[in-house]
Amino acid sequence: MNPIILAVIIVSVVGLVLGLILAIASIVMAVPVDEKAEAIQEVLAGANCGACGYSGCAGYAGALSKGDCTDCTLCAPGGPDCAAAVAEILGLAAGEMKPMAAVVMCKGTPDKCDSAMNYHGDMSCKTASQLYGGPKACNYGCLGLGDCVKACPYDAIKICDGVARVNPLACKACKVCIKTCPKGIIDLVPLYETKSVNFCKNKDKGNLTSKQCTVGCIGCMKCVKTCEFDAIKVENNHAIVDYDKCTGCGKCAEACPKKCLENITLGGKA
């Protein structure tokens, strides 16, 4: 037999055998497709931000599909429409989804908070905070170097007068900025509801806080004594507002001697 023809036959037979082996292997080792999970993932926001508490959209969709999670409202970037779509796929009630937005809890602009040093290093909050807590006199203040700005996938954060500020109507409450901030001074606050917000995270004693910043919370308890709804408590020299209890009456803000407490309506009235 012609050597060339023989070689072609051998190669063809080997290819056929290998193809058959691969076909069998693909059947034996096939990973079952969770069609329900795929359908859920298609209606999620696709931000993979982890705001839901899972590794990403795929993790949340898988948990919902398997019944490990029954809360359809955890995709904050997707909003109520997303929750309704997920609920329809699962045959569940969508539940109420309270709109929230991130707020930087600091009013320490240069005219209100002193500098502790002249910083000329890497323009990163994470890097700067590793040097004695950063250039600000207050170790709990916004450094304003823009880590949250760079991290925000919705372009909802800007640096204004040395402090990060969030546009509540652009914010999707994905919590990416919260995870990024090395100072831990970004919280979620309800949208379209009047609430009292403490724009300070300082936990130092009052006399020290007053030296650092003119609008720093000194834990004086006046807000606690004024509140008629038990919505405020002071822990570690710092006033904490329970937004579920707060009615937005504004009395605590009026009583606050440092004016770090403000009565605000994020996003305006619904």
User: What's the pLDDT tens digit per position in 9-44?
Assistant: 778 878 888 888 888 877 777 666 688 999 999 999
| Residue 11 maps to a domain | no
My answer on whether 60 and 170 are in the same domain is no
My answer on whether 225 and 116 are in the same domain is yes
pLDDT on residue 19: 82
What pTM value is reported for the model? 0.83
Among the listed residues 202, 176, 177, 185, the one whose alpha carbon sits nearest the alpha carbon of residue 143: 185
pLDDT at 130 over 80: yes
pLDDT on residue 1: 62
Enclosing domain of residue 74: 35-90
| Residue 26 maps to a domain | no
Report the half-sphere exposure of 30 (CA within 13 A, side-chain side): 9
**H helices present in 29-124, as ranges:** 35-43, 57-66, 79-90
My answer on whether 255 and 165 are in the same domain is yes
Asked whether 90 and 82 are in contact (CB, 8 A), the reply is no
Mean pLDDT value across the chain? 92
Q: 151 vs 58, 180, 207, CA distance in Å? A: 21, 7, 35
Measured distance CA(29)–CA(33) in Å, rounded: 12
Q: Three-state SS string across 200-257, please?
A: CCCCCCHHHHHHHECCCCCCCCHHHHHCCCCCEEEECCEEEECCCCCCCCCHHHHHCC
Q: How many domains does the chain have?
A: 2
